[in-house]
Structure 1
């Protein structure tokens, strides 16, 4: 059959069989007729299929084909950071830490993307996804614990940390040497992962890390009973619509305020981390702390 096939190819023809060993039957015959058809040969399909069989050509879909990938998103492996002189950070957004040789400073680095943290897409303002300020606060608290401090004494948010689907961000947290007052300066920067090395970093926060005062924290004894005595319940139906009217879009991950009670100018809220989220290794999960701040709407 090879000389016949080669000779036919030289003259622009095609050779197909009718039956094959151990593969005979009508299916094989129809397959070969199909091979002839796609090569441009006219086939009398009415004669092949029978005009009285009621066979017909199906219509193609009248809509554009919908394509959807089904690949599983898996976190990128961190590798053996200690083998390259780095310390491992347990924070979900910070992968490594380094004590600087010049002075007493420290550097924490990480990577933030909507692929790794898809729930962040549910925190937006006027259609732009923003990392909540509570997330930056938790980064600062992690930095404090890393250097032996226990509080974030001050944190100023300078520029929103914007996330997009296309561009993961590199995060850098810089901790300075101790000041004479025993505090340490802190800065948080980011830069798009795809930008050249000479691209300037954007600063999002600056603050101070230190130690808690020795005074005893205020005790909220009224919270020993829930609901708090003397309060009236606030209906939460449409509660988050008020945020949306101001351009703040909170998805289910950030709607953790489940009860709201009020006594005059004082509001009490019950917040829960939605079932779709895991506590992970955050000090305080940003979505949970952000929901706690929503209680402030109860006094307006």
Structure 2
């Protein structure tokens, strides 16, 4: 289970806000934050005197001198102005509705399985090279303590699939958020969003978020996506290896064979009188 990249961006925005720099100018994801099946992680989010932000974790059982894993790093700056032009009228004029019925089934086929709270994209439209989307949280979802709830933030990114913003599909690989630029938050407590997605270069998209009245909530100046292999097993650091072991002691009554054909080996052993 991987923490969404949107959650890393939200953490960086919150950390920057503590020092008067509530825009994430740049944030690069170095390693996915994998949540353990059991136990917990210690989380460390820092902003230094040069406005550099970094997000680290390690097991909460780690010793004081154990290393931290860096998941993302970048810089924060003071707030940038934001425009929500085109989001006051909803749905946008002259926009064509898009069919999204099988979106989450299609994403599951690429290796991305979203739980109910993350399946928040409910409607989408296209107007020229821009895509507009409507995302909501389930009614009972608590939003206290978040600037922008990560599940709502992440659901807005799902609409990028309709504009080709994430790049071409590849067998066994899917594209996930990699580098964030100009992430700023202007209102908290949102449970529903109007979203505008526009091209921002190869494999990149800009996003503007507003509430149900068209009032600015957040923006992302540019978000780059990068392909990730989803065909590897969960324990990708483990592998099968063959180690030759020298025979020690007496091998009387046994025959050393090189073949790994088990039925053949058993037949030869039984012929030698070994019933094991």
Q: TM-score, normalised by structure 2?
A: 0.56
Alpha-carbon distance between aligned partners in 1 of 2:29 and 2:22, rounded to the nearest angstrom: 20
Q: For 1:243, which of 83, 94, 107 is the aligned residue?
A: 107
Moved over 6 A (4+): none
Q: Residue in 2 aligned with 1:153?
A: 25
Alpha-carbon distance between aligned partners in 2 of 1:172 and 1:192, rounded to the nearest angstrom: 11
Q: Where do 1:202-213 residues align within 5 Å?
A: 202-213=69-80
Instruction: Give CA deviations for 1:86-136 in whole Å, capped at 9, x if unaligned.
Output: xxxxxxxxxxxxxxxxxxxxxxxxxxxxxxxxxxxxxxxxxxx01111111
Q: For 1:187, which of 48, 54, 61 is the aligned residue?
A: 54
Instruction: Give CA deviations for 1:124-156 in whole Å, capped at 9, x if unaligned.
Output: xxxxx0111111111111111111222111111
Q: Residue in 1 aligned with 2:168?
A: none
Contact 1:130 1:162 survives alignment (8 Å): yes
Please state which structure has a larger fraction of its residues in strand: 2
Structure 2 gap ranges (5+): 165-276
Matched, 1:217 2:82: yes
Alpha-carbon distance between aligned partners in 2 of 1:217 and 1:191, rounded to the nearest angstrom: 36
Alpha-carbon distance between aligned partners in 2 of 1:206 and 1:256, rounded to the nearest angstrom: 27
Alpha-carbon distance between aligned partners in 2 of 1:223 and 1:142, rounded to the nearest angstrom: 25
Q: Residue in 2 aligned with 1:176?
A: 48
Alpha-carbon distance between aligned partners in 2 of 1:173 and 1:223, rounded to the nearest angstrom: 33
Q: Residue in 1 aligned with 2:267?
A: none
Contact 2:44 2:57 survives alignment (8 Å): yes
Q: Residue in 2 aligned with 1:108?
A: none
Instruction: Indicate the structure whose relative CO is greater, using CA pairs within 8 Å and at least 6 residues apart.
Output: 2
Alpha-carbon distance between aligned partners in 1 of 2:84 and 2:46, rounded to the nearest angstrom: 34
Q: Residue in 2 aligned with 1:200?
A: 67
Q: Where do 1:92-171 residues align within 5 Å?
A: 129-171=1-43
Aligned length: 164
For the aligned residue pairs, the C-alpha RMSD in angstroms reads 1.5
Matched, 1:228 2:92: yes
Residue 219 of structure 1, CA deviation: 4.0
Please state which structure has a larger fraction of its residues in helix: 1
Alpha-carbon distance between aligned partners in 1 of 2:19 and 2:142, rounded to the nearest angstrom: 26
Residue 199 of structure 1, CA deviation: 2.1
Structure 1 gap ranges (5+): 1-128, 179-183
Q: TM-score, normalised by structure 1?
A: 0.52
Q: Residue in 2 aligned with 1:261?
A: 125
